[in-house]
Each structure stands twice: as C-alpha cells, then as structure tokens.
Amino acid sequence: MRVADEEPALLGLAPVAPDRTVAYGPHPDQIVDIYEPRAGDGGRAARGPLVVLLHGGFWRAAYDRRHLSPLAAELAGHGMPVALAEYRRVGAGGGAPQTFEDVTAAVGAAHTALAKTAADPGVVLVGHSAGGHLALLAAARPGTPVTRVLAVAPVADLARAHELGLSDGAVAELLGDAPGRAERLAAADPVRHPPSGIPVTILHGTEDPEVPVDLSRRYAARHPGSTELRELPGVGHYAPITPGSPSCHTLVGCLS
C-alpha cells in the first residue's frame, strides 16, 4: 500500500458498533465502547489481555474514536476484551488538563468493566498518534492498572512536536494560552515522564508524514531500558491501525 493510500483505506472501512457502552462522566464524550472477545475455533470466547484503545487526531474534537472501531473489532476477534475510549478534546471541553484526566478515568472504567473477562487483569494500553502520547502519559500516573503500553506512531516527544509545529500548532492548542504553557508542556511530555516499571513498545512507520519517526527515536534513546522501538520500513501513519494491512498484523502480533 502506498503511503498516500493509507488514510483513505482506513477511513473507507465501515465503523463497527460496540457490544455496549459505558459512561465514566457526565460529558457526552466521557464514554468507553466495549467489544467483547469473540468465539474462537472451539466455540468459546478466547481470552487475551485487556486492551484499552486511545485514538488520535491531534487532540482535536473534529476527530473521534469511530475510525478505530474496526481495529477494536479485529482485536476482539483475536480473543481480546477491548475498550475503545473517547475523551474530551480541544474545541469541545478538552485540552490540558481535562483530556489527560479523562484518559485516566476511562482506563479505570474499562478496567472495572472488563477485568473479569481478561486472561491478564492488567491493562495493555494501545494508543495511536496523539493517542500514543496519551497512553504514555496515562501509564506514568501513580496507581495505574496499566501493565504494558503499545504506542503506534505516537507523539512521544511533545516538546519536539511543539518545535516542529505539527498539524498547524496542535500542541499549542492542547496546552492552551501562552502564560504557563512551558510548565504545562513539561508536565505533559512523555519524554520527561516515562512509565515506571512498565514496558513500552513503539511501532512507527519510517515514512510517516504526520508524526515523524524521529520523535519515537528520541523517546527510545532517552529510555532504552524500558522501550522497544520497532520501525516499519516504508510505512506511513495509518496502515498499522488498518485491519488487513501487514503492519496491522504486526500490531496484533505484539498483543497476542
């Protein structure tokens, strides 16, 4: 698949409805979609790790979780209980710190809803793009149920992303007005706050035009003991989260 064809291929997939939805707050975006593990060859629901998915979209309200629903269904088909989390985003009640607080609450709600159906009672937190940033940050919170992180094309170095002005200044929008922005940036940068004792795997396409692979390389270089960086040659931003693509098979393999 050409890099230019990756986004249309993903967005061309029909959204997959969840089995149920759980609210973790009063805002319409404070919800988690639940995908129960599907029956395996033996006719019983296989049990895998509890997976919480965090979508990207540079933290903006224009982008929601629906484009990750085919991936959620794909992982459920491999026997994993899956929670696809929504959260308040910039332009609709989100930004720092509300977005970060929502992700923590969503992970807790997913863990409560699905822990009994999972082979591993911990949470494998999977985030794509801005969701990868949120996954890394949430895993560093004290008391988290997260036991592993899989970050896919993550905005893993927030300061560098801000310097580059990615997506027309998305980091500045996330952090809000200039007064105090430097402090908020420092508090929200995964490079400065790695998850303690939690292994991190990063998947990143070498031809990613949205989030340069250099951000993941910088993170891995800062935290080599806890981070495995797996570069995907010739892959862009969206193929790893598109069911049926070779790089999505790699993603599933990291969780199986």
Distance CA 69, CA 241 (A): 10
**Structural element, H or E, at residue 229:** strand 227-232
What pTM was computed for the model? 0.95
CATH code of 3-255, in short, is: 3.40.50.1820
Candidates 140, 128, 136; CA nearest to 158 is: 136
Distance CA 245, CA 141 (A): 33
Cβ atoms of 185 and 162 closer than 8 Å: yes
Instruction: Return the domain boundaries, the chain.
Output: 3-255
Give the strand pairing for 200-205 and 146-152: parallel
Q: Does residue 50 carry a pLDDT above 70?
A: yes
Distance CA 20, CA 237 (A): 29
Lowest-confidence pick of 59-63, 123-127, 152-156, 180-184: 180-184
Would you call 123 helix, strand, or coil by DSSP? strand
Cβ atoms of 54 and 155 closer than 8 Å: no
Residue 116: per-residue pLDDT: 82
Mean pLDDT across the stretch 183-199?
95
